[in-house]
Chain A
Amino acid sequence: MSGDILSVRGLFKSFGSLMATFNLNMNVRPGEIHAIIGPNGAGKTTFISQLAGELKPDSGSIIFEGRDITAMPIYKRARAGLARSYQISSVFLEFTALMNVALAVQAQGGHSFRFWEAAAASNELNGPAKDALIAVGLEEHFDTPVSRMGHGERRQLELAMVIVNKPKLLLLDEPMAGMSPKENQAMTTLLASMKGKTTMVLIEHDMEAVFALADRISVLVYGAMIACGTPDEIRANKDVRAAYLGD
């Protein structure tokens, strides 16, 4: 479909004899939250990594905004507006929260062969970074070194680093992983507030959050897509109930 922001066609990826991605076809429409669910080991993170460019698929193609990006290196995809977050917070421990997000801003703002002026003094970097930290609820932690932040706060920071550049497509790998119920609620509210403005592919184990947020849900089992539809359709799907929801 031509109106899709992302379309994936016939994607295959195997690690030895393990089929991590098996003939995957998917499309993401502008503005939607597209959730991907599936049991552990279904190949969800492997799939996201191929979308982001960290893993090369064995075959198949990935079309982003009408452009084939299958062979594009990861940093170019990021600059084209594809941002990914990580299941295990992948932040810079030595830096403060603000420095982390400012670095994300810097990544998209021209080359970094600038050897003299202090990066920390740049309002061009700090302005958007502070806005993003406020948006995720870390307004009191600008100058906290990440090594002293709690797990939940690092998850928030992880999100701030990917939303700060207003990506066209956000790939979120279990943003709620390991969060307390309260933090989980706050994150769900935050993602809901971005709904319609930012297109998202969301991997999440928390079914309550998934069914509350997603416009459409794809179900992955053993690397293959077994169903795709609205939350109501997925809930009613016999195969999904048998393979995954387990009741």
Chain B
Amino acid sequence: MLAFAILIILSSVPVVSTLMGQPFYMTFFLRIMIYALAALSLNLILGYGGLVGFGHALYIGIGAYSVGILVSLGVTNGWIHLSAAVIFSLAVALFTGAISLRVTGIPFIMITLAFAQMFFFLAISLRQFGGDEGMTIPVLSNFGLVDLGRKSVFYYAVFSILLFYLYCSWRLINSRFGMVLRGSKGNDRRMNALGFPTFRYRLAAYSISAVMCSLAGVLLANLTGFASPDYMAWSLSGELIVMVVLGGIGTLMGPVVGAMALMLLEEALSLCTDHRMIVLGPMIVFTAIIAKRGIVGLFATSEGERR
């Protein structure tokens, strides 16, 4: 039910904001959906694989810089931007995953964070591409008929991708691959004793998640017209984790709900106070303690809906 309500709200935002003469809301909800895409990607490994990746913003950054750098080199074809983001994020994920997935728990958190920080400083050192100030992207990715310059087209393109991600995630977590991923979250030792070489499945899940996340970066760069090292900052990685936990870790809709709740709250609180974390912090702690499956868990009426 909650899922339907949210998707209906998201689908009607452009109409409502146009009627209200407030185009700001469309941009704002676009932003929410793009972060929801990133959070959905993270939830695959965090929620279903039990792998706390604390460096997932790295892949947002890779997506954003794929657009920024290619545009500054004169390449505006969106499909090329997308291909670059996919190839580069896949390569980075395979390399960093092959190292970090040797361990779990706190060491995994630290290694993923360390790799993200390395790329953060690499981005800062790229003087020709804006250094620590980042680079403005004067031209949008050109996806042919899908003209991102028109906000409503951009909006519904992202909305479609969101639906596509949700559907693919649902198929994935219930497939044989998904069962291996979820099994190794619950009891990796037993999975090996049953005959699963779990490492290669985790690496595949980590790579899929990274590639999915890089697409969010491509979209974000197009929304803001900007790519900067901040897109790979550890604080953004942390925010993605908060979105997943707040919305409902290991639930299909959780990341979407979490992204929406967090960003709406931040926005609302910033209107009335400069110290929004005073309110937001305790709320996050409260949800994490009370509701094991976040906001989605609070609304779920049956066991089945909670998944």
Q: A residues bordering B, Cβ < 8 Å? A: 52, 54, 73-76, 78-79, 83-84, 86, 90-95, 99, 102-104, 106-108, 112-120, 122, 145, 161
Contacts and interface: CB of A to CB of B under 8 A. Distances in A.
A111 B197 CA distance: 10
A102 B174 CA distance: 13
Interface residues of B, number: 26
A78 B190 contact: no
B173 to A, nearest CB: 10
B195 A114 contact: no
B194 A94 contact: no
B178 to A, nearest CB: 7
Interface stretch (B9-17, B180-188, B213-221): B180-188
23 contacts: A54-B193, A74-B193, A78-B192, A90-B187, A90-B190, A90-B193, A92-B183, A93-B186, A94-B182, A94-B186, A95-B183, A95-B186, A103-B183, A104-B194, A108-B195, A112-B180, A112-B201, A113-B201, A116-B171, A116-B175, A117-B175, A118-B174, A119-B179
Given A92-B187, A93-B186, A112 B194 contact: no
Interface of B: 171-172, 174-180, 182-183, 186-187, 189-198, 201, 204, 303
Contact of A113 (B177, B192, B195, B198): B177
B176 A119 contact: yes
B172 A115 contact: yes
B253 to A, nearest CB: 18
A80 to B, nearest CB: 9
Contacts of A91: 187, 190
A112 B196 contact: yes
A188 B193 CA distance: 24
A145 B191 CA distance: 18
Contacts of B177: 112-115
A78 B176 contact: no
